């Protein structure tokens, strides 16, 4: 949805625009670039079971992407998403400018910085947070896609080594709203203590990459240091750890409640021709969370994500993903198939099942405890 908070604080917004214009004047040569446009239209229907009743959901989603090409020094990107169901809504998840200067690179706009490593669970993602439940479709190609307004400086240090600093002029996540709220948001300001930012560095150590950094969240009033390792030893692996330490009066005896750990394994096997098989296993661990089942508990200490994907040809893919809560022995599993019928046109279908009791995290009797979705997607 459109969020007026994305446009608020004219002072900060003006600084962003002024900085962007200043950067453009610093780049010599012809700044003209071709624009590569892409439109993705998806239509799908879902049957959802809720208790003893069933519901039907039909949605049409479209996405417009404008990407500058043929200019290695300046890159602009804009994405507009819209959904049509019973009502209409739209969002601008990404809109940014990237500029490469002789010794560093600058990014201004709305996008995502990917700190740490992990497909689903990533303790090193101290900016957006990738340790909680997934907000969205478990069958989606990208499961963590939150973005925010930011300014970033990236300094390359060599192969696989760099430094990066980032500042967020608005709190994360962005406050929600609609145009119906009026234009009063244009006079809103962001208190200095709610600003957030941090820095990280990545360094190559043999076959392993070490990444470490620090992020201060003004809105959450937390210090968030982290460290992350990833490399390859028979399989791709990653390991991350972070802490969310209160800025004011921290009670250090609660250190285990601040600690978050994540680990992952991934392996891709080529079976010859266009056939392939891949395996993934990730875990999220919070030592200070609940390790015994509770009737109303949702903050459990461990979650697992196993995945297997098989492509018997270059036009057909099969996938099985599962989110497992070992504490209450519940899980949600999604089995899906995607078939590329023609160039740009895909038909997809997937079945989602929850296996837990009525008081479990993934309850069989809960909303969408069982669902089936099918649809088409066209990219042009």
pLDDT tens-digit map of 294-315? 876 578 999 999 999 999 999 9
Distance CA 318, CA 26 (A): 49
Closest to 97 measured CA to CA, from 28, 25, 150? 150
Closest to 263 measured CA to CA, from 120, 143, 138, 115? 120
Distance CA 99, CA 324 (A): 42
| Number of C-beta neighbours around residue 184 at 10 A | 9
Give me the pLDDT at residue 327, please.
92
Give me the pLDDT at residue 106, please.
96
Distance CA 36, CA 16 (A): 25
Give me the pLDDT at residue 111, please.
94
Distance CA 169, CA 191 (A): 10
Distance CA 171, CA 150 (A): 10
Residue with tokens 């069989």, as numbered in its chain: 364
Give me the pLDDT at residue 188, please.
58
Distance CA 196, CA 168 (A): 5
Strands (E) across 141-221 are located at: 148-158, 161-168, 196-205, 208-217
Residue 42 to residues 36, 83, 265, Cα–Cα distance (Å): 20, 9, 31
What is the chain's Cα-based Rg?
22
Q: What is the DSSP string of 6-58?
A: GG--HHHHHHHHHHHHHHHHHS-S----EEEEEEEEEEEEEEEEETTEEEEEE
- The structure tokens listed for 17 are 């625009």
Asked if omega into 173 is within 30° of 0 (cis), the reply is: yes
Answer yes or no: are the C-beta atoms of 242 and 257 closer than 8 Å.
no
Helix (DSSP H) and strand (DSSP E) numbers for the chain: 2, 19
Give me the pLDDT at residue 1, please.
38
Across the chain, which has 380 residues, the per-10-residue mean pLDDT values are 37 45 46 80 89 85 92 92 88 93 93 93 92 72 85 91 92 48 52 89 93 93 96 95 95 94 97 94 94 79 96 95 92 94 93 88 83 94
Give me the pLDDT at residue 345, please.
95
Please tell me the number of Cα atoms within 13 Å of 338 on its side-chain side: 18
Give me the pLDDT at residue 187, please.
52
Answer yes or no: are the C-beta atoms of 163 and 210 closer than 8 Å.
no
Task: Give the chain's domains with CATH numbers.
Answer: 4-25+32-379 (2.40.160.10)
Distance CA 20, CA 250 (A): 39
Report DSSP state, residue 4.
G
pTM for the full model? 0.84
């Amino acid at each position: 949805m459109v969020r007026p908070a994305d446009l608020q604080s004219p002072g900060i917004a003006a600084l962003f625009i002024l900085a962007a214009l200043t950067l453009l004047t610093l780049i010599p040569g012809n700044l003209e670039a071709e624009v590569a446009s892409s439109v993705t239209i998806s239509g799908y229907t879902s049957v959802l079971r809720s208790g003893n009743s069933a519901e039907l959901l039909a949605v049409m989603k479209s996405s417009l992407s404008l990407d500058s090409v043929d200019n290695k020094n300046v890159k602009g990107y804009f994405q507009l998403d819209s959904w049509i169901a019973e009502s209409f809504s739209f969002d601008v998840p990404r809109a940014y400018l990237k500029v490469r200067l002789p010794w560093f690179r600058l990014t201004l706009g709305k996008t995502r910085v990917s700190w740490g490593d992990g497909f689903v669970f990533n303790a090193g993602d101290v900016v957006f947070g990738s340790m909680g439940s997934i907000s969205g479709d478990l069958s989606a190609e990208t499961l963590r896609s939150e973005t925010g307004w930011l300014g970033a400086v990236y300094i390359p240090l060599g192969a696989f080594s760099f430094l990066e600093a980032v500042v967020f002029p608005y709190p994360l996540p962005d406050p929600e709203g609609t145009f119906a709220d009026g234009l009063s948001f244009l006079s809103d300001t962001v208190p200095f203590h709610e600003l957030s930012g941090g820095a990280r560095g990545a360094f190559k150590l043999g076959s392993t990459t070490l990444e470490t950094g620090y992020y201060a969240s003004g809105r959450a009033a937390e210090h968030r240091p982290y460290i992350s390792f990833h490399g390859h030893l028979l399989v791709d692996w990653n390991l991350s750890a972070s802490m969310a330490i209160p800025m004011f009066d921290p009670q250090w005896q609660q250190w285990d409640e601040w600690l978050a750990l994540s680990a992952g394994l991934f392996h891709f096997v080529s079976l010859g021709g266009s056939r392939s098989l891949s395996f993934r296993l990730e875990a999220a661990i919070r030592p200070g969370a609940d390790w015994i089942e509770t009737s109303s508990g949702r903050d459990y200490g461990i979650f697992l994500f196993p995945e297997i994907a098989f492509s018997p040809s270059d036009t057909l893919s099969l996938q099985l993903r599962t989110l497992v809560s070992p504490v209450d022995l519940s899980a949600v599993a999604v089995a899906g198939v995607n078939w590329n019928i023609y160039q740009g046109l895909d038909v997809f279908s997937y079945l989602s099942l929850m296996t837990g009791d009525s008081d479990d995290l993934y309850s069989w009797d809960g909303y969408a405890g069982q669902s089936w979705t099918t649809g088409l997607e066209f990219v042009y």
